[in-house]
Amino acid sequence: MQELSKKRAIGAMPIAGSYRSIDFTLSNMSNSHIHKVAVLTQYNARSLNEHLNSSKWWDFGRKQGGLSVLAPVVNADRSSWYRGTIDAIYQNIDFLKKSHEPYVVIAPADCVYKLNFNKVIAYHVENNADITVVCHEVEQGIDVERYGILALDDDGRIVEFDEKPLQAKTNLVSCGIYVVRRRFLIEMIELSAQEERYDFVRDILMRYKDVKKFCGYNMKEYWRNIASVEDYFGTNMDFLKPEVRDYFFRQYPDIYSKVDDLPPAKYNYGASVRNSLISSGCIVNGVVEDSVVFKKSYIGNNCVIKNSIILNDVYIGDDCYIENCIVESRDTIKAGSRYVGEDGKIRIVLERNDRYDM
């Protein structure tokens, strides 16, 4: 994610004008009536922690359960960052041991999708699986070598699992979403930690796939991972398509997020907006085409914004031209500036200037 991940966790990346990446996973859990949720945070978690300061936005258990934010444990015996998914769970193993729910859903915060986890759990129980991996068949032409690649037999059992292979044999990729019985998970996590193994995919899924029964649940609906700048840009651009907006925001169940008390966007004389998302608190004086403009952004007179993403609280001065770019939040773009991503590449614009200088 290059410069975009230097100031925030990937789970806090803005999506579709008014949401964060983690909102989609948390909403799926809320809509699946999962009331006890733990978020394991690590690097640059301040923005994410502010977003998660109340569980009311996702309506997690008010009396039982609730939302817990678990950072790496620092004590006399341990003071390291999470070294992988296994280590992250192991450092918080008491959370699992004190729980009473029979199953655990493990899901990443960097994916945009809708999924009823109850269907995955039912599939898991029906197949008497040890671990069920949610997978998705990506379109041809997408670089699948950076994902975990699966192969299933006719019964849905995982027979091959290659993590980021040099050459993929199929286009069925792991979504990083797992369902596992709680007691079995505790057993596997403690065993792996004793052996100083920390990677969930390599040290559990790939290591035990021929010994344990691991099944794949094929998710047919929309799914995108935002592990790169190109993915992040493409995901936001997908929300300019009416069918994608309708799927996420008009079809049940809903997607929830922390709500800011902001006025609606204001379009002054001379503003022209085409095929774009303009968020609350924005003021537009120029031309915006095929773009996503996030909250509290200002676009000056005679500006032209094309095929770009303008993140939160950006001030763009008069007579600017921006195309094929992602403008970082809280930037101040001086009047008359020109930024263009060329040769099909997305340019990240970082301009602090003097708006927030003390």
pLDDT digits (tens, 9 = 90+) for 281-290: 999 999 999 9
Decide which of 96 and 82 is more confident: 96
Q: Are 214 and 132 in contact (CB under 8 A)?
A: yes
**Predicted confidence (pLDDT) at residue 301 exceeds the cutoff of 90:** yes
Mean pLDDT value across the chain = 90
* Percent of the chain scoring above 70 in pLDDT: 96
The CA distance from 193 to 188, in Å, is 9
- Given a cut of 70, is residue 107 above it in pLDDT? yes
Alpha-carbon gap, residue 300 to 284, rounded angstroms: 7
Task: Give me the pLDDT at residue 175, please.
Answer: 93
Whole-model pTM: value is 0.92
Cα→Cα distances 204→24, 148, 161, Å = 26, 13, 11
Domain 2-249 is found in CATH 3.90.550.10: yes
| Least confident among 50-64, 300-314, 344-358 | 344-358
Q: Which sequence spans correspond to the domains of the chain?
A: 2-249, 266-349
pLDDT of residue 78: 64
DSSP class per residue in 61-121: -SSSSEEEEEPPP-SSS------SHHHHHHHTHHHHHT---SEEEE--SSEEE---HHHHH
List, for residues 220-259, the tens digit of each pLDDT value: 999 999 988 999 999 999 999 999 999 999 999 999 999 8
Residue scoring higher pLDDT (57 or 222): 222
**Is pLDDT larger for residue 168 or for residue 51?**
51
Q: Tokens 């678990």 map to which residue?
A: 70
SS3 call for 329: coil
266-349: CATH superfamily: Hexapeptide repeat proteins (2.160.10.10)
